[in-house]
Amino acid sequence: MLASYSLQVSAQTENSAGSQAPQVEEIQIWGQQLGQRSDLSHPASVLTQADLLSINVATTEDIVKYEPSLVIRRRFIGDSNGTMGMRGANMFQTSRSMVFADGVPLHYLLQSRWNGSPRWTLVSASEIAQVEVLYGPFSALYSGNAMGGVVNIESAIPQEREFHFDSSFFSQDFGAYGFDDRLNGYKTFFSAGDKIGDLSLYFSFNRLENDAQPQTFYNGSPSSAPNSTGVSGGIVGNDQMGVNRLWLGDTGVVNTETNNYKIKLGYDFNQWSALLNLAYEDRFSDNAPNSYMRAADGSTVWGGTVNQDGSTVSIPASRFSVGAQDRDSLSTGLRLRGPVLENSELEINLNHFSILRDESRNSQRHPLDPTHTPSGQVTDFGDTGWSGAEVKMVSTLSESGNMTLTTGLRHDSYQMDIAVYTSDDYQSGIKSAMSSRSGGETMLQAAFAQLNWVPHEQWEVQVGARQEWFRSHGGFFSVGSGAGLTLNSVPEQKRSSFSPKFSAAYQATDRWTLSYAAAKAYRYPIVEELFSQYQAYNAINQSNPELRPEDGLHHNLGIEYGVAGGYIRLNVFQESIKDVIESQSETLPGGLSVRTFVPIDQVDTLGTEFIANVSGLLNDRLDVRFNVTYTDNEIVENRVDPGIEGNVYPRMPTWRSNLMATYRINSQLDVGLNHQYADSSFGRNDNRDLEQGVFGAQDGYSRTGIKGNYRLQNGFTFSAGVDNIANDIDYVAHPWPGRTLYLNVSYDW
């Protein structure tokens, strides 16, 4: 049957290496069989730990960053803003992709752009057994937030007493503008599990500490003020628009510390199974900016109007403020599965995510500034989080098993409350007076059905539909500040949408398979886009409570050729999306950043993916995963600003490619090569940011890494690797890491 064949050629961990392959313990997961695709309605890719031998893995994002048509903007190890873009969605359209770990949502549908990153740290890279990447919204089981795709992570469930430990050291060289230093980091993970009768127990702890390169470099605004301080030390160079600037400082080293505690309890009763997930994250980060400017007496200059070699610029003292963030989060998930009726299986997923504390503290000035005081600003997330519930039933409708029906209901609710306070003592987090507050709630309910039919051994057809009901309510924003602050309510929304889905696959021969999929999808606005409205020292955020949902029509045409040990696949996809919710930022003179949410009438994407995943080459010793993606992305219509029609949508490279190759020297030793490539793109809708190799640019990049693994018979494994061997300094607005060394030791018992 076609289903069996497709699963076979997609089983990317099936290894034909014979005696040369390392011995891998049998692993049980809650999802489908290890190494197999779960849903043929999607263009998909599957990863297991055996596929990751050639890459240096520090955090969960590393596991998926080499997959086709997928980009992760993780600026440094430990970055809380590891945003993800898939296919026609760029890395800042975070609400167009979904991430689940054991059925628990990790996607962060509260904020967008850099703040909208999935909560990757709630699952540790060391506990993952399998990752399935689904492209596009071709299944009725997912909301319109799957316009780009879905990442489904499954972790292992203990079947016997086990213990795992691993520890990593990483170190990078980084030099840009006036900064040049070596920066180090550490990761420690351990887990313990056991199965006692019908009860499975698992506990893990993951600690990550890292010092990262500065993420922002400062320049001053041209000034004609008659009085200025003569300085030296500034760096002369262009910005991303090609304008010559005097660069005066940076945000300094970013220090991050993240602790993650995980408990999983599995229980089998009769023919039912239950899995409880509890994950707690404790995260701290801080940074202290550097000023390059020196006065004639050698003292550091921290702001004001300055002059260097005839260039007079002004920079506010708040530009060099120091910052710190404390963030504590708790994620709870429960999954139940078991048979009901005669030929049906029921699955229930319940989840809740709470921000226990999320507090950012900023000074008015740098502590080394002679005019520094304890005054500052505190930003606090109060009643913020989400909850979800889903019930899904899979029923076999025919005696032969060639027809199954999946039906279900889902409810998701999100709420956010942001308050900004002036502080008489920012280090202690004193909230002296409220300067702004905003927030609100959204709710999305859905009913879905999907029929899978195999009318002939060479054919499979899937038809589905999803009905959604959306409501935004309780929105508010503040006017005034302190004792005069009042809250104004904003209009609520009620909308509904119907999304049909269709896919078909035809196995022409034993090796050739053709497929086609089409789907409608509606991506509703998230809480931040509707309600988040505030002004901080260096930023203004302007929401839009009347935003309509993004309206997408998606197609995928695929052809696949099965080979021994894998497959070669070509996908052609097309996306046409109306009312694209665009988060646009503009930096005003003096460094104030203004962000608004304005819809673009229509953006179209035409793309092609070539994928070759093959194991067992060169006498069964070499495994290769290679992909290349071409996208033609265009702003087709924009009535608000017709001048950008015909432009390339921001942050969408035309060409992208990835390579992972692992060569097994023997059963104990293997070496790997990895490579990532993307050409340059634009960061602005007007496509005027053409400068490359500068802060704020959207550089192309070509980065190569290597890794070696040596396994001992006593359970220890030693690994060493290097990323970005050429030590390129590339900017995707912010700088990515320089050459980075990795050393790792692990032990399994």
Those residues with Cβ within 8 angstroms of residue 110's Cβ, 6 or more apart along the chain or in another chain: 116, 384, 386, 414, 416, 526, 527, 528
DSSP-assigned states of every residue in 585-601: EEEPTTS-EEEEEEEEE
By C-alpha distance, which of 629, 652, 678, 677 is closest to 43? 629
Cα distances from 525 to residues 93, 374, 627, 649, in angstroms, run 11, 39, 32, 19
Instruction: Please tell me the least confidently modeled range out of 533-537, 661-665, 685-689.
Output: 533-537
- The predicted-structure confidence for 364-378, as pLDDT tens digits, reads as follows 999 999 999 999 999
By C-alpha distance, which of 431, 416, 437, 427 is closest to 486? 437
| Largest pairwise CA distance in the chain | 89
- The phi-psi region of residue 597 (left if phi > 0; otherwise alpha if psi is between -120 and 50; otherwise beta) is beta
What pLDDT is stored for residue 399 in this prediction? 86
This prediction's pTM: 0.91
By C-alpha distance, which of 681, 636, 628, 627 is closest to 654? 681
**Rounded Cα–Cα distance for residues 194 and 121 (Å):** 23
For the chain, the first-to-last Cα distance in angstroms comes to: 40
* Amino acid at the residue 225: A
DSSP summary character for residue 528: H
- The predicted-structure confidence for 233-281, as pLDDT tens digits, reads as follows 999 999 999 999 999 999 999 999 999 999 999 999 989 999 999 999 9
8 Å CB contact between 121 and 259: no
Structure tokens at 715: 């359970």
- The predicted-structure confidence for 14-62, as pLDDT tens digits, reads as follows 333 333 444 444 556 666 566 667 666 678 999 988 898 999 999 999 9
Structure tokens at 351: 């989840």
Domain edges within the chain: 2-185+206-748
> Residues of the chain with pLDDT > 70: what percent?
92
Cα distances from 70 to residues 97, 137, 656, in angstroms, run 10, 15, 9
- The predicted-structure confidence for 625-654, as pLDDT tens digits, reads as follows 999 999 999 999 998 889 999 999 999 999
What is the distance of C-alpha 102 from the center of its chain? 17
Those residues with Cβ within 8 angstroms of residue 534's Cβ, 6 or more apart along the chain or in another chain: 379, 418, 420, 436, 437, 438, 540, 541
**Rounded Cα–Cα distance for residues 80 and 122 (Å):** 11
- In the predicted model, what is the mean pLDDT of residues 219-233? 86
- In the predicted model, what is the mean pLDDT of residues 724-728? 96
3-state helix, strand, coil in the chain (%, to 5): 10, 60, 35
8 Å CB contact between 36 and 10: yes
Cα distances from 48 to residues 53, 156, 581, 612, 666, in angstroms, run 10, 11, 35, 16, 20
- The predicted-structure confidence for 573-608, as pLDDT tens digits, reads as follows 999 999 999 876 665 555 555 667 788 999 999 999
Cα distances from 321 to residues 16, 75, 367, 377, in angstroms, run 57, 21, 8, 10
Measure the CA angle with vertex 443, ends 442 and 446; round to 5°: 150
By C-alpha distance, which of 216, 215, 217, 220 is closest to 589? 220
What pLDDT is stored for residue 224 in this prediction? 81
Helix (H, G, I), strand (E, B) or coil at 684: coil
CA quadruple 99, 574, 5, 397: dihedral, nearest 10: 70
Q: Which CATH class is domain 2-185+206-748?
A: mainly beta
